[in-house]
Amino acid sequence: MKVGIDARALLGERAGVGLYTEQIARGLAEADFDVALFTPRAHPPAPEMPAGVELHADNHRSGTLWVQTHLPRRLEEARCDVLLSALTVVPWRGSVPAVSVVHDLTPLSHPEWHRRKTIIGFVPWIEKSIDRAAGFLAVSETTARELVAQFPEARGRVRVAPNGVDARYRPGIDEERRRWIRERYSRGRPYILYLGTLEPRKNLGRLVAACERLWRARRSRPDLMLAGGAGWKSRPLLDQIARSPFRDKIHRVGYVPAALAPDLYRAADAFCYPSLSEGFGLPVAEALACGVPTVISDAEALRETAGGAALSPGGEDAESLASVLETVLEDAGARRELVARGLVRAGELTWRESARRTAEALRAAA
């Protein structure tokens, strides 16, 4: 069977849905599916894929319109049996059945968290996609419940295929490498890591305020490293950092390529992901796999992903987050337990299993 994938998320910096698209494409190819990746324009550069994966790039400026006007024809020309819509929206027309991947529904529930182009590319098209899709893949049970609650007509067509963790995310770093990472990115100091886009829903203002509480009590506590590109409406966060009396202890390192991310996790004293809402929370799974004691918000999908292997403050204030971070940093017994539970949980989240579940949905749709 030949699977076409809407691979728009592979364009630009590879994060979130881009990492998902790359891993699922590779997993399906390794499971002996014929795979074709379709994009509105060329990849800069093309992703590394197993032999036999086809790359089809058009010369179209608008990815949103391209899905509706060009992709159906491209799928038919490539003789695809089924489409995996990795960015949720499916073509309204065409003979190839589509499976929609639903990562989260925040463009509907919280449009203020997203760029205008994200809203334009999602909201006007989602109801037609609900009608048109042969099936849906939710990246968590939480997302599946939210999808059915928002669109009851999707009930019976929804399967769950959680994201996985790539094999390069594993514990263990030698002291020389740890020292090099810290000297390059945190002025040689220990640090608490956040990795992800800097945008409002990630709730990073709370994390900065929590760390300031820790540093007021004892300045020698680990610094804060914010790894990830500046996203939508990141200016208030940057202004908060600029005003902080501890701004010398807050390090922005920008977008982190996948090859570097494992060492950033492994060299951290703790990982914190305080997001207000997620569909899955892939950085949490990656941190657990690297053996880093992890703190998350009380967001339902993050608690599902962590599976009891991360601490949550159970509130939305900086004081409660600071208290949990203090425990993770300074309670040796709690750290050991979190690391052990995290490695077990991360071992349950594999891209091979995600690809297997995806394959079942694709076969059913085709």
Hey, where are the domains in the chain? 2-164+350-365, 175-347
If one compares 45 and 155, the residue with the highest pLDDT of the two is 155
Q: Which residues make beta-bridge pairs with 94?
A: none
What is the C-alpha R_g of the chain? 21
Place of tokens 């309204």: 92
Q: In the sheet that 191-195 helps form, which strands lie side by side, from edge to edge? A: 250-254, 223-227, 191-195, 270-273, 294-296
Length, in residues, of the chain = 366
Say if residue 315 is exposed, middle or buried (CB neighbours under 10 Å; 0-12, 13-18, 19+): middle
Residue 209: what pLDDT?
Answer: 97
Q: Spell out the CATH class of 175-347.
A: alpha beta
Quick one: pLDDT at residue 120? 85
Residue 225 bridge partners (DSSP): 193, 251
Q: Which residues make Cβ contacts (< 8 Å) with residue 340, sequence separation at least 6?
A: none
pLDDT for the residue 13: 72
- Model confidence over 297-336: pLDDT tens digits? 999 999 999 999 999 997 789 999 999 999 999 999 999 9
The pLDDT of residue 50 is: 83
Q: Which residue has the tokens 């698209």?
A: 21
Rounded Cα distance, 156 and 154, in Å: 6
CA torsion sign for 16, 21, 23, 27 is positive
First-to-last C-alpha distance (Å) of the chain: 9
**In the structure, what pLDDT confidence band is assigned to residue 43 with cuts at 50, 70 and 90?**
confident
Residue 229 pLDDT class (50, 70, 90 cuts) = confident
* Alpha carbon separation from 327 to 16, 56, 313, 341 (Å, rounded): 29, 50, 11, 16
Q: Which of 91-95, 141-145, 158-162, 300-304 comes out lowest in average pLDDT?
A: 91-95
Instruction: Please count the other Cβ atoms lying within 10 Å of the Cβ belonging to residue 48.
Output: 8
CATH class of 2-164+350-365: alpha beta
Asked if the peptide bond before residue 45 counts as cis, ω within 30 degrees of 0, the response is: yes
Q: Which of 117-126, 181-190, 196-205 has the lowest mean pLDDT?
A: 117-126
Instruction: Report the distance separating Cα 143 and Cα 274, nearest Å.
Output: 18
Tell me whether domains 2-164+350-365 and 175-347 share a fold.
yes
H/E element, 35: strand 34-39
Single-letter amino acid, residue 151: F
